Chain A
Amino acid sequence: MSVMAPLIDVTLRGLLGRRRTLLLILLVGLPVLIALLIRVSGGRPDADRILDTLVVRTVMPLVALILGTAAIGSEIEDGTAVYLMIKPIPRWKIALAKGLVAAGLTAVLVVPAVVVTGVLLGSGTDAMTAIVGFSVACLVGGSAYAMAFVALSAFTSRALLLGLAYTLIWEGVLSGLLEGTKFLSIRQATLGLAGALGVDVPGDPLVPMVSVAVLVVVLVGAFLLASWKLSRFEIRGGD
């Protein structure tokens, strides 16, 4: 596994460019800022609702989308992926390194946002349950999103657009209207996991076992798909 270290190193450095880092910090700072405003203005703090609406439904998928699609997609687009592909490395290790970095960074950014937002909005046992429940759910759900977007970007150069359509249209609109589509929603599975951990989740999320199964299938399936696609990597362009 010694080759994983340089793969992770170069992926981290590639992802943490100045503009992208600033954008990500602004994104995860949004729920914290809103919680702070609620606190200062004397509004009614509702940790469950704010964490559900702002973090699980908005910030987490967007952060995972930005990181997941950039981890390998931007390298394929700009041509630097070639320098990884012409090495004696099994391609699944490249997919794994990209997935680990995207998932890890998503967790590092989103989980603290959950904790700080939760602390600002509540106190007592309920708030602690929400913080722990949403933190664990975001850790797993964010990883599933990130790996899914890594896989998507290995298949298409329009991963950012398609990922956005998935989170906004499929998960935002259709999974609320059509019962069956819930099983293909990472958001619903994340909320189901949070519910299983004692959080009072609004609506009718997936049951715990199904939520865990969906998240595991997405994580493993996306990793396998990304590995498969990278093992058939073909360079773009040239004469």
Chain B
Amino acid sequence: MTEPTGGRPGAALELDHVSRWYGNVVAVNDISFGLGAGVTGLLGPNGAGKSTLLHLMAGLLAPSAGRVLVDGESAWRRPEMYRHLGLVPERETIHAYLTGLEFARLNARLQGVPDADAAAARAIATVDLTEAANRPIGTYSKGMRQRAKIAGALVHDPGILLLDEPFNGMDPRQRLHMMTLLRKMATEGRTILFSSHILEEVERLADSVLVVYAGRLAAAGDFRSIRRLMTDRPHTFTVSSSDDRALASALMADPSVFGAELVAGRVAIRTADYEAFTRALPRIAKAIEATLFEVAPTDDSLESVFSYLVRR
């Protein structure tokens, strides 16, 4: 299983204190990790630096500082490495005048695959695009374009596969099919890294996860331990009831709550134990005979989760 670690020797992909900046803007800030075989999810909100990281690993950006290694050698200015590496870019643009099959064949020929026609047909079948294979890509839906891009990246059977938001535009059936395919490829020993801003996608597919936020590596490792970190972080809620003052006072006596104050006609509550608090709240309200009108988490967005992981 993939286990992102700092500077792991023998890793297929390795970043060693990598930074990338554009003028005064730091897109990636001092990130180190190593990846081996398995599926790893690169999780972070939009603008976190996920694409920049993938482009650095794909040799499409030079690091401003640090080293990016693919199979132990620098990824920058080394076209030979693309014999073993496939990339599915996020940008939707793809040669609209080619059919899906022609696009896959073009990729196979450019890769120098011995039987390009057979390899292209195989890749198209793998991504379940055979029926539309002879239609121009310009007529494809977003999900079909994604699959054509994946076919183009698989055509030379790479050992390392980088996918930037690969499930964008896919319907649930296509998504499931693609997840099954990527899992199968990982069990065959390939190193697969995909980016997503959707926690559930990463949860369903990835063995391990890299969380990036504001260009920094917020967390790395086994998905369950990261998930636990996300759940166990301090949470804040606002509660509206028939007797806010009494409720705030009663809640402060509960060990799951470490802060309660009256703010703008509501009780703002801070808790370190999400589950214990959600169990305790109705019980306490009932005990003081207060009616709950509204309970709302105030920091449940992924942004706030990532922000917490960075600050941790």
Contacts and interface: CB of A to CB of B under 8 A. Distances in A.
A49 B49 CA distance: 59
Contacts, number: 88
Given A2-B112, A235-B55, A83 B95 contact: yes
A85 B111 CA distance: 11
B228 interface: no
Contact of A88 (B48, B80, B90, B93): B80
Nearest to B95: A80
B58 interface: yes
A89 B79 contact: yes
A17 interface: yes
Among B54, B55, B86, B152: residue with most chain A CB under 10 A: B55
Interface residues of A, number: 31
Contacts of B95: 10, 13-14, 80, 83
Q: Label chain A's interface by main secondary structure.
A: loop
Interface string A70-87: 000000001110111111
A87 B111 contact: yes
A53 interface: no
Interface stretch (A168-176, A178-186, A226-234): A226-234
A5 interface: yes
Contacts of A90: 79
A231 B80 CA distance: 12
Interface string A1-44: 01101110110011001000000000000000000000000000
A192 to B, nearest CB: 39
Interface string B40-73: 0000001111111011001111100000000000
Nearest to B110: A87
Contacts of B62: 232, 234
Nearest to A87: B110
A6 B102 CA distance: 11
Contacts of A89: 79, 110
A83 B52 contact: no
B272 to A, nearest CB: 32
Contacts of B109: 3, 5-6
B110 A84 contact: yes
B77 A232 contact: yes
Interface string B64-103: 0000000000000101111101110111011101100000
B107 interface: yes
Contacts of B205: none
B79 A83 contact: no
Contacts of B26: none
A238 B52 CA distance: 6
Contacts of A10: 95, 98, 106
A239 B46 contact: yes
Contacts of B97: 13-14, 17
Given A7-B110, A14-B95, A87-B110, A239 B49 contact: yes
Given A6-B109, A87-B107, 13 more contacts: A10-B106, A13-B95, A80-B95, A82-B87, A83-B110, A84-B110, A237-B51, A238-B55, A238-B90, A239-B27, A239-B49, A239-B51, A239-B52
Interface of B: 27, 46-52, 54-55, 58-62, 77, 79-83, 85-87, 89-91, 93-95, 97-98, 106-107, 109-112, 152, 164
